[in-house]
Structure 1
Amino acid sequence: MQNIVSASSADDARSDAHASGVDSLRSGVLSARQVIFFVIAAAAPLGFSVGAIPLAIGRGGIGTAGILLVCGAILAVFSVGYVAMARHIRKVGGLYLFVTAGLGRPLGLGSAFLAVMAYAVASIGSIGAFAIFTQHTAHSLLHWDTPWELWAFLAVAAMGLVGLLGVDINARVLGIVVTCEIVLLLVFAVAVTLSGGAEGLSATAFSPHAVFGSDLGPMMAIAITAFAGFEATVLFAEEVRDGHRTIRRATYGAISVMMVLYAFVCWAVVQSFGDAGAVEQANSDPTNMFFAAAENFIGLWLAQTLSVVVVTSWFAAVLAFHNAAARYLFALGRDRALPPVLGRVQQRTGSPWVASAGLSAFTLVFVSVFATAGLDPYLDLFVLCTTPAVVALPVLTCLASVAVFAYFLRNRRGLPVWQVWFCPLLAAAALAFVAWLIVDQLSLFTGRSGVVNIFLALFVPAAVLFGCARALWLRQGQPDTYERLAP
């Protein structure tokens, strides 16, 4: 078995890096628990629960709780082949390297550009959510009337600073934040359960009729974002301890925690208002739905605590998406698919500082444009910026599923058929259906119609085609660089 970051593979990676004039990331600094923190932080557990679960309930129904279990199950099936293939991928690069190994360099590079786009816009969009929730918290608790732009620019500065630190420092920061979020969510959900809810406990939210209702698209679109970043376990492949074992534990651990936690919390939110009352409340006052339930069943102190921690939750998401995008850029720079300077690391901290700094600068420009244009931080910066990511994530994972199947179709390497053929194909079919549902009902997610949704959805094929074109150009003009685009 070839571990992802075994001593020999880590040495190989360093040798390759130095030979090409770039560096390698620090090895052996992350445990499975710390990688799980990165993955869960990207989904902003508290931020998602406060900002997205009410939206999903209002637009799709109480079946959102069941849909969260469905999405988790799909990704768990995907992870069977994903973890098996991770044994044979030695470098950082995430699903980019999986698609390259299974479907070839052009489509592999296309998936890399898709991943960079998705995580970059997710990070930028999350700054909008961070800014508006911070603005509201400052007003409600401190009676400060502050512009959202102030908090957005502070978030960009903090993101840039923390992103330049070592990955272990990032993990400690995210670990503290995520632990607080999970504790508060469990306190809320357990309190609602023990009190019996508003009308008595009901399992209707998990019934087939509620889960597979007519508005499945928006529920799927919002639910899939709950697991955003779960594939980041492989992005930290060169930095983990105990190689493949850590990646396996982190992948299954992250999916299991998120699936159970989100479904439980969503069900508790529904119970706090009743099956019918939850939909009505979600449509009339979605932003305060979670806080109102917390205050009713526990007290004002929890509602106020949640309003503070939700701010740190969104910053953790910003930071996690930023780290993921930076590592994709690092991988592309080290492979010379993009300027090699992006493959540089800071020797003292081991962070991909050039890629991180470049993303921070791009984010600053993007946020400045939205601020100057006087656009809304939530409806415009958050919703519109994250829309391409919402479409891209199931597409990217679907491509990786097909790539895993194609990779093992050539050589099963002694692994069982169900693990490397059946599970990847099943996951690919399910993810393709999810992506189609999201695109088909995108207007329910964005609140826009017509050309806006078409434009946002086109970011996905545009990113893939741009990456494919770049690969073909490299094959023609720089064949040596083209050959480097491989695991």
Structure 2
Amino acid sequence: MTEQSAPARGADRDHTLRGSIGVAGIVFLVVAAAAPLTAIGGALPVMLAISNGPGVPMAFLVVAVVLLVFSVGYAAMSHHVVDAGAFYAYVTRGLGARLGLGAAALALLTYTAIQAAIYGLAATTLQSIVTQYGGPELPWWLLAVVLIAVVGLLGYRSIDVGAKVLGVLLVLEIAIVAVLAATILVKGGPEGYALTSFAPSTFFQDGPGIAVMFAVASFVGFEATAIYGEEARDPRRTIPKATYIAVVLIGVFYAIASWAIVVAFGPSQVEAAAQADTAGLVFAAAAQYIGPSYADVMTIMLLTSLFAALLSFHNAISRYLYALGRKGVAPEALARTHPRHGSPHVGSLTQTAATVVLLGVFALAGADPVLNLFTWMSGVATVSVLVLMVLTGVAILVFFACNEVDARVWNTRIAPALGLVGLAFVTVLVLLNFATLISGSAVLAATLLAVVAAAFVGGLVVGAVKHPSRTGGVPGHELGAASQQALSEN
């Protein structure tokens, strides 16, 4: 049987995702995973403190440009492959089933790691809010369980429900950051409106690797535009539009918001200010330019930002498990969808249980939810997703080189090649600075990178077992329903 997307197998309602999500809904899911307030309130001060200081805003633009060029081939591929596995499905179609399963393992590692990291930060943030308002000092792991339960309940339901929740949270989240940035830029900073943040010389000073690493982490949910293709009203139009809009929105918004923080303290002083008060830098700017009450509201909104990211990644993992179950490389039960909600409810429940186990390991080990759980897992997710995107870039080039389904040279040859070069450059920068991110431990860095390698190799081994008759190279180029339609139209 040809390996094709679920819509072509629509006769089995128990194994078919259902939804009517549009461009705006998918963009919400992607940007929610990027967690704007978390990136600006949590990651940005670290970037300013230990990377290239005032050159940080440029890092967001550099990563956005690389992903935008990569998106051209990615969007073109979405016309021919519509599958909840997204990167996994693209690599399978371009490079074969074995490498596809290697990609699937990297995707599961990426989303599991980043979700675990965010649970650690979210639980700590909730713990701080509870005690701030006179509540008891509850252990972080107990608060994490509460968050897991709420996320699991929403993930069990239809994607339309999750998209609506994320939409509301995201609008509030973007608004609160936008108001702060606008206020700072209207009032001006102690050194005026210096544009040195966007100068190449400023970007490359003191090494931009850490800034680029955090910027990449801000785009980890980028793949979601294709993940939700089967639940979109018109995937061939929705996915490309949502991809471009999400990348541009995230990149530009982060660049402007981070520049506003640089302006607030001054390019020559912002690095020292971030080093002196990393956790409270952005909230101090809010208190200074708007008022203390606004800073308190931002603290609460930080929690909702983290929750939105948790829900988005939960949905992504559930759909990957669903795709693997449908392909027969994971238990078939994972491919079942809820008769009323049309959601991958078994995958959702499995993901919830796995999260409880993973966080339980860190809790039993007495690990710090931020210094250990958040930092280590964020690093793993960043490296893993970059390797996954490089692999996908190669698959896109191979697919279009071997299948004459699209005559657009820019979309299928030039842009994918340029995007691949850009991703390789970013990956090298991240690897060179990986040890710095995790407290400078070379041994720990090697261990965590080994986890990424082991996940990929594990996927290859499963592929060899499940597909023993395949050589693992380029498959027989069996085109799915969308590709056959494209051929007929041409």
Q: TM-score interval w.r.t. the shorter chain? A: over 0.9
Q: Secondary structure at the match of 2:10?
A: helix
CA distance in 1, matches of 2:478, 2:148: 32
Give the alignment of 1:273-422 within 5 angstroms.
273-422=265-414
1:473 pairs with one of 465, 472, 477: 465
2:23 pairs with one of 32, 35, 38: 32
Which residue of the partner structure matches residue 221 of structure 1? 213
Q: Secondary structure at the match of 2:329?
A: coil
CA distance in 2, matches of 1:275, 1:218: 18
User: Deviation digits for residues 345-364 of structure 1, max 9, x if unmatched?
Assistant: 11111111111111111111
User: Deviation digits for residues 141-189 of structure 1, max 9, x if unmatched?
Assistant: 4464333222211111112111111111100111111100100010000
1:14 pairs with one of 10, 25, 36: 10
In the TM superposition, what is the alpha-carbon distance from 1:11 to its structure 2 partner? Answer: 4.6
Does the CA-based 8 Å contact 2:97-2:467 persist in structure 1?
no
Does the CA-based 8 Å contact 2:54-2:271 persist in structure 1?
yes
In the TM superposition, what is the alpha-carbon distance from 1:92 to its structure 2 partner? Answer: 2.0
CA distance in 2, matches of 1:283, 1:217: 18
Which residue of the partner structure matches residue 267 of structure 1? 259
Q: Secondary structure at the match of 1:62?
A: helix
- Partner letter of residue 456 of structure 2? V
Question: Structure 1 residue 101 and structure 2 residue 97: aligned?
Answer: no
Greater shift after overlay, 442-451 or 286-295?
Answer: 442-451
Question: Structure 1 residue 442 and structure 2 residue 438: aligned?
Answer: no
In the TM superposition, what is the alpha-carbon distance from 1:138 to its structure 2 partner? Answer: 2.2
- Partner letter of residue 362 of structure 1? A
User: Deviation digits for residues 56-80 of structure 1, max 9, x if unmatched?
Assistant: 1111122110010010000000000
- Partner letter of residue 330 of structure 1? Y
2:453 pairs with one of 436, 455, 461: 461
Q: TM-score of the superposition, structure 1-length normalised? A: 0.93
Q: Secondary structure at the match of 2:220?
A: coil
In the TM superposition, what is the alpha-carbon distance from 1:95 to its structure 2 partner? Answer: 0.7
In the TM superposition, what is the alpha-carbon distance from 1:140 to its structure 2 partner? Answer: 2.7
User: Deviation digits for residues 11-62 of structure 1, max 9, x if unmatched?
Assistant: 52313x56xxx511004x1011011111011111111111101111111122
User: Deviation digits for residues 263-319 of structure 1, max 9, x if unmatched?
Assistant: 011001111111122101111211100100000001112101100000010011111
Does the CA-based 8 Å contact 1:80-1:419 persist in structure 2?
yes
Structure 1 196/313 Cα, relative in aligned 2: closer, same or farther at 3 Å? same
Does the CA-based 8 Å contact 1:68-1:262 persist in structure 2?
yes
CA distance in 1, matches of 2:134, 2:255: 33
CA distance in 2, matches of 1:12, 1:98: 17
- Partner letter of residue 42 of structure 1? A
Q: Secondary structure at the match of 1:286?
A: coil
The gaps in structure 1 that reach 5 residues or longer are none
- Partner letter of residue 50 of structure 1? G
Q: TM-score of the superposition, structure 2-length normalised? A: 0.93
Which residue of the partner structure matches residue 64 of structure 1? 56
2:33 pairs with one of 39, 42, 50: 42
Query: How many correspondences in the alignment?
Result: 473
CA distance in 2, matches of 1:278, 1:485: 55
Identity of aligned residues (%): 36
Greater shift after overlay, 266-275 or 143-152?
Answer: 143-152
Does the CA-based 8 Å contact 2:400-2:406 persist in structure 1?
no
- Partner letter of residue 230 of structure 1? F
CA distance in 2, matches of 1:332, 1:484: 20
CA distance in 1, matches of 2:332, 2:440: 40
Report runs of 4+ in structure 1 exceeding 4 Å deviation.
Answer: 482-487
Which residue of the partner structure matches residue 157 of structure 1? 149
Which residue of the partner structure matches residue 87 of structure 1? 79
In the TM superposition, what is the alpha-carbon distance from 1:10 to its structure 2 partner? Answer: 6.1
Does the CA-based 8 Å contact 2:82-2:226 persist in structure 1?
no
User: Deviation digits for residues 183-210 of structure 1, max 9, x if unmatched?
Assistant: 0010000000000123211111111011
Q: Secondary structure at the match of 1:229?
A: helix
Does the CA-based 8 Å contact 2:7-2:230 persist in structure 1?
no
